[in-house]
Structure 1
Amino acid sequence: MSDGLIFYWFAWIGCIIVTFFMPEGKRRSFLTSYILILILLANFQLTIGGFTFSLSFAALLMMSFCLSARLPKTAFHLIVSFIVMLGYTAIHIWYFSSPLQFFLPQLATQSLIPFLLAILLAKGFWNRLVSCLSGMVGGEWLYSFILASYSFPDVIGDMRFLDSTVIFVAVLICQSLLSAGKRKLKELVNRAVLKPRSFVKKKAQ
């Protein structure tokens, strides 16, 4: 099981980037505060109805559901979240019941599968981020519920889940930045190619 170093590392880097590089406003204050809350609550757990979950998971759960309700085409993105939830749960079960664990690290499979589903099913950075985070949160809960039914209790949203989530967010941000850079480069090339040129040179007086 991961010890959460990846989560803490990426979370602190994200907090620094948001604080010093984002323009001032409510969004920057909200993101900075929310990242700090996730970091502070990561080591605290709560047990309700026989299920133990981290408080950072609870914060992600509430925020992802609130943001999902504000997405355009809410019904469509809820379907995307449901597909990601099933995929996330299936990769957990498949990972431990197949030789996949001998070839791929667990964090890679848990992060890349939601990322691939996000690229295939949704458009736009925020739509992909919110819908897939909701799916990963739901998938984590569903997987723990399945384990509990076989008397294998597990902590919902432990450090393993937080590591997978922060890797998914980091990869999605990198993909979005690369796509934006590719579009910008394409626009510059098109402008250079389509720029009208003067074929008739003025004669020297």
Structure 2
Amino acid sequence: MTKVLSPRSAAKRAAILDAAQVCFCEQGYAATSMDMVAASAGVSKATIYAHFASKDDLFGAIICRRCDDQAEGLGGLVLAAKGDGRTALAAIARALMDLFLAPEVMALYRVVVAESPRHPDLARIYYEQGPWRGKQRVAEVLAALDRQGQLVVPDPWQATDLFVNMLRGEVFHRALLGLEPAERPTAETTIAESVRVMLAAYGPHP
């Protein structure tokens, strides 16, 4: 059962999470201490421990909150299923590309990848609450488009995996590594080409 917090307690918890996310993303997991988070959040260390049992628990809460925000942001994808196949795929691709390239998403992703050998449970939480939930949402939209006859998608999960990985290509990896964007492909050309390939593979044919 989820504990109901008072407005003041909820505000302190949010401030701790905000401060901790900045510390983890800027300093890395190992270099971030609870003292550092307390100073950044403007609370005592005892207050942090009143909300989070350990640094692992705090980091896990940040992951869950970030992933909840991502899932909420992808919620609009369900509405995309009401359009034609091309319009829906373009809307999905744009939403996913914006999500993949968001600085705060990339920063947390880098920390999770760096810490995954030492903290596999946190990596699992991140994957299940973030990428897996997002792909599940996209698969639901593709299945709806299949039912409407806008697309022909025998295996929505496989189609989603292909779609997502086309979008997480050159543009994503250069941004992830902090490299300058290439002249081509761009985010826009990646979106357009991914939609074209999806329509070629899953568009209805006479």
Specify if TM > 0.5.
no
Higher strand share: 1
Kindly indicate whether structure 1 or structure 2 has the higher relative contact order, using CA contacts under 8 Å at least 6 residues apart: 1
| TM-score between the two structures when normalised by the length of structure 2 | 0.35
Larger radius of gyration: 1
| TM-score between the two structures when normalised by the length of structure 1 | 0.35
